Amino acid sequence: MTYHPPTALPPELLDDAEMQRALAEHDFGAVFRLARTRAGISYSRIAAECDIKPERVGTLARGTGRITSFDKVVVIADALRVPGHMVGLAPRPWENGAPADTHSREIGPTVRRRTVLAAAASTGLAAALPALHQPPTSSHIGPGDVAQLRARTARLRRLDNLLGGGDTYRVYLSEYQYTKGRLRTASITPDTRRSLLSLLAEQAQQAGWAAFDGGRPTEAGRLYEESMAAAREAGDNDLLGNAYAFLAYQTADRDQAAEMAARSCAAITDSAPATVRALLYERMAWVCAVAARPADTDRALAVAHNALDGQQHGEEQPDWAAWVDRTELDIMTGRCWTELRRPLRAVPVLTHALARYDDAHARDKALYLSWLADAYLTAGEVEEAAAVTGRALALSTGVASVRPRQRLTPVLAQLDQHRDVPAVRHLLESATT
């Protein structure tokens, strides 16, 4: 399977009246035909980008058949970088932007760097990355090939520190699809196959996380299920447990989430690295907090903290769990106590942890600040809540993730009850401009 960097319809073609009509009517045969004749984008490239069989693209371009699946419309719009409103999709929350804020001066360089990276994503982020996948020169895959693919996956994972899932989903999905194709077609030994299956499970989780972050929960769930199957076949209990943890984290049904979290922790073996053990138990703590079970929350957090405290110097940690450290665990602790309406516990731990948290990780810091604002509201500290919410809104500007806005919207609704407070009134007025 050949890797194809993302393509995009040029702005002048998007401005063309015939193209606008075709997009509005979901006449993608005409869209594809215009893309080829006026922009020189081949049908094979369109097929690869839009996950459509090449012969199907040609048939549509000749005027036979229609695209009727809403999910496929979304995929095509994303693949060709078509603005959502042109195909009748609701605007992405992050495309609306967040209000300007007096804090913007403090985070200007971070926002500018994030904007540059997001612009690179919209014009073909993968094209700017090193070591692009080339058509395989051999049908054989050995341990060295898997190691290279794993290293590439680790490099690409760093994009998640600065960009949201709306920008990274296609990149991560392409990595997963490439590995899946190699598993299907390559000559491979049983041991190497297990190693490649483990990598596939890891890549499916990364793509699923980006899908969830970008507002695609259905795609995320499907990728987590596929990750689970690959991890089982690979005999990788750590990744199997993480797949369950991901499902528990995004599942709205509390009983299902509790069951998934229990399976996640049950998958932990004696050989599980400290960060993996801490990660799975902190997500168990979150599920318990959402279910209003403080004692179970406290027990799960204690296990997670003990895991990190007992980490041996030099112990190898998988890259997908290496981000779990004491700061992250303190933040999860504060989030849990916020959910349990214990602000006297939540505020100090969140305040101290967020003081150590880099603004460059804008999406995550904005999210974590939303819990601090929530805790301040529970404690009746309205002015502090308004200040923290303003900071979170400024940080989340331009981040291609639905989650900051999802978290901040109810906080703003609570603050609206205190509109008579000058700081709150100023925040609410700026948030609507």
User: According to DSSP H, which parts of 291-381 are helical?
Assistant: 294-309, 326-339, 343-355, 362-378
pLDDT digits (tens, 9 = 90+) for 274-287: 999 999 999 999 99
Is-contact 295 258, C-beta < 8 A?
no
- Work out the angle at residue 245's Cα, subtended by the Cα atoms of residues 240 and 246, and round it to the nearest 5 degrees: 100
Report the range out of 7-21, 159-173, 294-308 with the highest average pLDDT.
Answer: 294-308
- Work out the angle at residue 23's Cα, subtended by the Cα atoms of residues 20 and 29, and round it to the nearest 5 degrees: 120
CA 175 to chain centroid, in Å, comes to 15
257, containing H or E segment? helix 254-266
183's CB contacts (< 8 A; 6+ apart) are 193, 196, 197, 200
Shortest CA distance to 379 belongs to which of 348, 353, 342, 414? 342
Is-contact 373 388, C-beta < 8 A?
yes
* pTM of the complete model: 0.74
Query: Which one has a higher pLDDT value, 236 or 101?
Result: 236
pLDDT digits (tens, 9 = 90+) for 4-46: 445 678 888 888 889 988 888 889 999 999 999 998 888 888 8
pLDDT digits (tens, 9 = 90+) for 374-403: 999 999 999 999 999 999 999 998 888 999
* pLDDT band, very low/low/confident/very high, at 139 (cuts 50, 70, 90): confident
Is-contact 397 372, C-beta < 8 A?
no
Per-residue pLDDT, 301: 97
Question: Residue 80 pLDDT > 90, yes or no?
Answer: no
Per-residue pLDDT, 75: 77
- Look over the chain and give the mean of its residue pLDDT values, rounded to a whole number: 86
Q: Alpha-carbon distance 323 to 74, whole Å?
A: 31
* pLDDT cut 90: percent of the chain above it: 62
* pLDDT band, very low/low/confident/very high, at 136 (cuts 50, 70, 90): low
pLDDT average, residue stretch 320-326: 94
How many other C-beta atoms lie within 10 A of the C-beta of residue 419? 12
The DSSP letter of residue 8 is -
Question: Residue 108 pLDDT > 50, yes or no?
Answer: no
Per-residue pLDDT, 114: 46
Q: Alpha-carbon distance 327 to 269, whole Å?
A: 25
Packing angle between helix 54-61 and helix 28-39, nearest 10 degrees?
A: 90
Shortest CA distance to 398 belongs to which of 110, 86, 74? 110
Per-residue pLDDT, 74: 73
Task: Give just the sign of the alpha carbon dihedral 415, 418, 420, 422.
Answer: negative
Furthest-apart CA pair in the chain: how many Å?
A: 70
Question: Residue 87 pLDDT > 80, yes or no?
Answer: no
Instruction: Give the alpha-carbon dihedral of 345, 346, 348, 352, to 10 degrees.
Output: 140
Per-residue pLDDT, 95: 53
How many other C-beta atoms lie within 10 A of the C-beta of residue 420? 8
